[in-house]
Structure 1
Amino acid sequence: MKRGDRGDVNIEVVIGVSALIVLLGLALVGMRVITAESAVDEAARSAARAASIARDGHAAASVAEARAQAVIAQQGLNCAQLNITVDARDFAKPLGETGYVIATVSCEITFGDLMIPGTRLTASEFRSPIDRYGARR
Structure 2
Amino acid sequence: MRLQTRRLREEGGSMVIETVILAPAFMLFVALIFMAGRMTIAQQSVEAAANDAARSASIERTHGEAQAAATSSASTTLSNQDLDCVSTNVSVDTGAFSVEVGTAGQVEATVSCEVPLSDLALPGVPGSRTVTATVRSPIDTYRER
Q: TM-score, normalised by structure 1?
A: 0.92
Q: Equivalent residue for 1:82? A: 88
1:18 pairs with 2:24:
yes
How far did 1:17 drift? 2.0
SS at match of 1:95: coil
1:129 pairs with 2:135:
no
Query: Which 4+ runs in 1 deviate beyond 6 A?
Result: none
Q: Distance in 2 between matches of 1:55 and 1:85?
A: 17
Q: Equivalent residue for 1:57? A: 63
**One-letter amino acid of the structure 2 residue matched with residue 9 of structure 1:** M
How far did 1:36 drift? 0.7
Q: Percent identity?
A: 36
Q: Distance in 1 between matches of 2:83 and 2:42?
A: 7
2:46 to 40, 49, 53: 40
Q: Which has the larger radius of gyration?
A: 2
Q: TM-score, normalised by structure 2?
A: 0.87
**One-letter amino acid of the structure 2 residue matched with residue 10 of structure 1:** V
Q: CA RMSD in A?
A: 1.3
Q: Equivalent residue for 2:129? A: 120
- Segments of structure 1 that go 5 or more residues without pairing to the other structure are none
Q: Distance in 2 between matches of 1:108 and 1:39?
A: 12
- Segments of structure 2 that go 5 or more residues without pairing to the other structure are 1-5
1:7-32 CA-to-partner distances (Å, cap 9, x unmatched) read 11111122222222111100000001
Q: Distance in 2 between matches of 1:4 and 1:113?
A: 41
Q: Equivalent residue for 1:7? A: 13
How far did 1:92 drift? 1.4
Q: Distance in 1 between matches of 2:35 and 2:12?
A: 37
1:106 pairs with 2:104:
no
1:45-82 CA-to-partner distances (Å, cap 9, x unmatched) read 11001111112221111101100111111111111221
Q: Distance in 2 between matches of 1:9 and 1:58?
A: 67
